[in-house]
């Protein structure tokens, strides 16, 4: 298991991922290899811990947006009905340096490729990280470090049938938990057949999970549980 807290030197290697720190002379060297790409930093620290945990999947190959668009098989939802489904979402791994006074992002990496899309019209829409998932009624098996499980509760609060095949989230209020699987819990409230509110809930999928340090808290972005209003359609 790669996720967790590390003091001084450590080494984790599995498949295409290698993360290690080694002490050469008085300096600590952080090295990461992932799918052929290498990242290396010298660390000058006496007390810092290295924290590795899953983070919001909107940082690779570089950070251009806060939004995540999950596409899934179209669902027709009856008015007034609430349904919980499970989706697979992409995982990115964040490496943090935590000292008593401050915490800093050291590295973000991930397996697989990324794709971005536009939600809404070019004039007023938003760029979002795109990910396609099948719809599951039970927690699916996922490939570690590549995908996580999103529990999505969809409520049709409108008076009409609604067809839904995508959900857009503002990752700034994303809460991620992990143990041997990475999870997040989200809600989608359909207001009209073309409009919905989405947000994340701060709850683990299982009781024995650890809460991730999110990038937005490290970057000191003030957030008031803001959610996202999908006003450009649900499919």
Partner 1 sequence: MTFNVTEVLEIPIGVGSITVESLLYFAVILVVGVAVARVVSTNVRRALMERLPKSERELLVKLVYYGIVLWALVIALPQLKFDLSGLLVAGGIAGLVIGFASQSVVSNLVSGLFLMFEHPIKIGDGINVAGVSGSVEDIRILSTIVKTHDGIFTRIPNEKVFTSNITNYVHNAARRFEYQISVRYEDDADAAIRIIKEVIWTHPFALKSPAPSVFVDNFGDDGVNLTAYIWAPARNWWDVRTSLLWQIKQKLEENGIEMPYPQRTVWFADELKVTTGDTGTKGAEE
Of 6, 10, 39, 116, the one binding partner 1 (CB under 8 A) is 116
Contact 227, 197 (CB under 8 A): yes
Contact 131, 69 (CB under 8 A): yes
Token output for 217 = 């808290």
Contact 187, 98 (CB under 8 A): no
Rounded to a whole number of angstroms, the minimum distance from the CB of residue 66 to partner 1 is 13
Q: What is the DSSP string of 112-177?
A: S---EEEES-TTT-EEEEEEE---BSSPPP--TTTEEEEEEEEEE-SSS-EEEEEEEEEGGG--EE
Of 43, 126, 135, 142, the one binding partner 1 (CB under 8 A) is 126
Q: Map the footprint of partner 1 across residues 62-91, applying CB under 8 A.
A: 64-65
Of 86, 130, 145, 169, the one binding partner 1 (CB under 8 A) is 130
From the list 79-87, 122-130, 188-196, 220-228, the region that binds partner 1 by CB under 8 A is 122-130
Judged by beta carbon, residue 81 or residue 118, the one nearer partner 1 is: 118
Asked if 229 interacts with partner 1 (CB under 8 A), we say no
Asked if 127 interacts with partner 1 (CB under 8 A), we say yes
Nearest Cα neighbor of 46 from 62, 65, 23 is 23
Asked if 120 interacts with partner 1 (CB under 8 A), we say yes
Residues near partner 1 (CB under 8 A): 60-61, 64-65, 113-120, 122-127, 130
């Amino acid at each position: 298991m790669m996720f967790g807290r590390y003091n001084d030197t450590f080494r984790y290697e599995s498949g295409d991922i290698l993360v290690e720190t080694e002490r050469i002379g008085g300096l600590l060297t952080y090295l990461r290899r992932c799918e052929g790409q290498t990242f290396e930093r010298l660390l000058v620290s006496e007390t810092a811990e290295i924290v590795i945990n899953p983070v919001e999947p909107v940082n690779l190959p570089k950070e251009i947006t806060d939004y995540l668009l999950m596409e899934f098989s179209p669902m027709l939802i009856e008015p007034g009905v609430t349904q919980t489904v499970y989706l697979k979402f992409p995982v990115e791994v964040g490496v943090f340096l935590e000292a008593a006074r401050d915490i800093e992002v050291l590295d973000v990496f991930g397996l697989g490729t990324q794709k971005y899309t536009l939600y809404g019209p070019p004039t007023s829409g938003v760029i979002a990280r795109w990910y396609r998932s099948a719809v599951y009624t039970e927690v699916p098996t996922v490939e570690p470090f590549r995908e996580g499980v999103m529990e999505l509760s969809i409520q049709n609060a409108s008076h009409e049938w609604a067809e839904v095949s995508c959900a857009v989230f503002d990752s700034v209020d994303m809460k991620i938990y992990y143990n041997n699987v990475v999870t997040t819990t989200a809600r989608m409230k359909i207001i009209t057949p073309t409009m919905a509110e989405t947000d994340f809930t701060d709850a683990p999928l299982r009781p024995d999970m650890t809460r991730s340090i999110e990038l937005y808290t490290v970057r000191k972005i003030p957030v008031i549980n803001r959610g996202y209003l999908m006003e450009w359609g649900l499919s």
